[in-house]
Amino acid sequence: MPAPLSIIIPAYNAEASLPLCLGSLMPGLEAGLIREVIVVDGGSEDQTRCIATATGASVLISPEKGRAAQLKHGFAQARGDWLLFLHADTALSRDWAERAKAHIAEQPGQAAAFTLAYRSDATMAKVVARRANWRARIMGLPYGDQGLLLSRKLYGEVGGYPGTPFLEDVQIVRTIGKKRLRILSAEARTSAAKYERDGWRKRSWHNTYLVTRYLLGAKPEKLAKSYR
């Protein structure tokens, strides 16, 4: 029987972070969990595609720009019965494969995300991650930085990722619903570059403001213009 999991990674000019992301997948290969790794490039001008190819990943070129389009394109080519959508600037902790394998065996009807952590020594990194993990557990709203693990069947039931330019991660987990979503204890350790650039408090509250506006009815197309 083939390994169950297809990992789909949208990438754009990700040469600095992609090696860490791909390297963190090794426990899944060792556990016989991964069927394929698909990197969907959004038109990178750096060495992203070369790095992905060198590690043995399948590289696709998205026909449309935008993360949602890349995710949808990757899914269209994936062969696994289970899917893990993962950002190129996120690296998983070594226990991710053990946790994912148990979830696949024990919770076939549920999706899962990982516990968020930032690759930063800043004090605010832990504060912001703690808030995000609270939101994910209490409200059922993990962000894409936390990865999304779900069966092909469930992905089809919820209609997959929406074709919007922003907040595709929030939209799909809202459709899945809190009752069908678990947060695994393994960590998704994501880049803190945007927080360090803009300031932890400023970036955190800006993101919260945009998501709140979306939840109150604002269109993702309009909100995308305010996100950088």
Residue 64 sits in a domain whose CATH number is 3.90.550.10
* 121 located within any domain: yes
Backbone angles phi, psi at 39, to 5 degrees: -100, 120
The order of strands in the sheet holding 181-190 is 58-61, 34-41, 5-11, 82-85, 148-151, 111-118, 181-190, 90-92
What pLDDT score does 135 carry?
Answer: 93
* 224 located within any domain: no
For residue 39, is pLDDT > 70?
yes
* 206 located within any domain: no
For residue 52, is pLDDT > 80?
yes
* 223 located within any domain: no
For residue 101, is pLDDT > 80?
yes
For residue 227, is pLDDT > 80?
no
| Structural domain total, the chain | 1
Specify the DSSP element, H or E, that contains 123: helix 123-139
* 210 located within any domain: no
- Where is pLDDT greater, at 227 or 102? 102
Per-chain mean pLDDT for the chain: 94
| Dist CA 204 CA 37 (whole Å) | 31
User: Which pLDDT band, with edges at 50, 70 and 90, does 1 fall under?
Assistant: confident
Backbone angles phi, psi at 219, to 5 degrees: -80, 135
pTM: 0.95
Q: Among the listed ranges 9-23, 40-54, 163-177, 206-220, which one has the minimum average pLDDT value?
A: 206-220
What pLDDT score does 219 carry?
Answer: 82
For residue 218, is pLDDT > 90?
no
What pLDDT score does 216 carry?
Answer: 84
Which amino acid, one-letter code, is at 200? Answer: W
* 225 located within any domain: no
User: Which pLDDT band, with edges at 50, 70 and 90, does 206 fall under?
Assistant: confident
Range of the domain at 24: 5-193
Q: Name the token pair of 79.
A: 């062969």
* 138 located within any domain: yes
For residue 127, is pLDDT > 90?
yes
* 73 located within any domain: yes
Q: Among the listed ranges 120-129, 160-169, 191-200, 210-219, which one has the minimum average pLDDT value?
A: 210-219
Q: Name the token pair of 33.
A: 């969990």
